[in-house]
Amino acid sequence: MRLGRTASPAYGAAHITGLGARLVLVPLSRPWGPDVPRVHVIATTVSLSDGTEGHGFSWTPTIGAEAVLALLKHDIAGAALGRTADPEAVWQPLWEYLHEAGGGGLTTIALAGLDLALWDAAARRAGLPLTGLLGLTRESVEVYGSGVNLHYSLDELRAQAERWVAAGFDAVKVKVGKPDLGEDVERVAAVRDVLGPTRRLMIDANQRWDLDRATRAVTALSAFAPAWVEEPLRADDLAAHAELARRVAVPVAVGENLHTEYRFADFLRAGAARVVQPNIVRVGGITPFLRIVRLAREHGAALHPHLLPELSGQLALTLGADVMVEEVEDAGFGALGVLRDPSPVHVAGGRLTETDHAGLGLRFADPGEDTPATAPQALAP
């Protein structure tokens, strides 16, 4: 595997001359709960001195979108002006500049908007997709079916698992963390019954347990051979994760709420996780994501990016290790009709492949603009 670029994109003296950002509301066709009918994207455009533009985004489902937008407009845009167009060179000084407002969280989510736009500009300048810039290592990657489904009835959960099987997925993930552990056992048993003995099943508790309850729950649910248990404890409780990893045989997975490479290093050094799941936006973009990939490899941990398959899938295609990409049912940007261009990836039969595009291939449409998902289709003669 190579994480270096196939060739230097010849930044030369190109520097940042402008950064724009706007909020995009993305209604979900399958709400993630009664309080999550939509998610928020902050679409970004970076302008460079050589005339190149790059398009990126920040993302947050429910909380902080306006704060991210404010950081981009009032802090990052001004601090980025005149700096090099090389994303790997500009990321660290800007992260240090923003650190007064926090080392991670809103600051790294916002910084991703610039980082992704700079990588997009670099690939577009080279006339390549992102994978061409980083070095494509395989033609397809596995996708696992995922659902924000703790609020589903047992019948709805079983039906969702059946849809994944029918669509060709060989691995799926379901939410756990009901107040009654017996209900979790019943739900996971039902999904395992649908999947059969050979497909992989993962469980995600979304930080709902304390250490003792997690120990009891994981022990009970281990009867269904979960491939990992995700976020069983409060995300920032390093000591408890390390202790749980000693208590249970099921691999512990963390990462969607770890915001810096330094925090990932803490968990890996402590033996608190055998699976890491960096969210490319939450950690600050592609630049820190690649650093976390190296950390995971150094510690022998599996790495599977969290959500955002249109972006995660492209990066997974550049990684030589077995990396699975997560797709939440009916939540892809392309299928939701918010992309100006066709999606840069295609998922079929539980595999993700790349489509023809330049850069990241992720430009978000303006309100009311026709998109590939909404534009009228010509009738065949």
Query: What amino acid positions are annotated as catalytic residues?
Result: 175, 306
The H-or-E segment that residue 269 falls in is helix 261-269
Task: Give DSSP secondary structure letters for 26-50.
Answer: EE-SS-SSTT-SEEEEEEEEEEETT
Q: Report the alpha-carbon distance of residue 300 to residue 92 in Å, rounded.
A: 26
Token pair listed for 45? 């455009």
By CB neighbour count within 10 A (0-12 exposed, 13-18 middle, 19+ buried), where does 26 fall?
middle
281-316 CB burial, b ≥16 within 10 A, e <16: bbbbbbbbbbbbbebbbebebbbbbbbbbbbbbbbb
Token pair listed for 353? 């492949």
Contact 195, 221 (CB under 8 A): no
Strand partners, 326: 144
Q: Report the alpha-carbon distance of residue 58 to residue 116 in Å, rounded.
A: 9
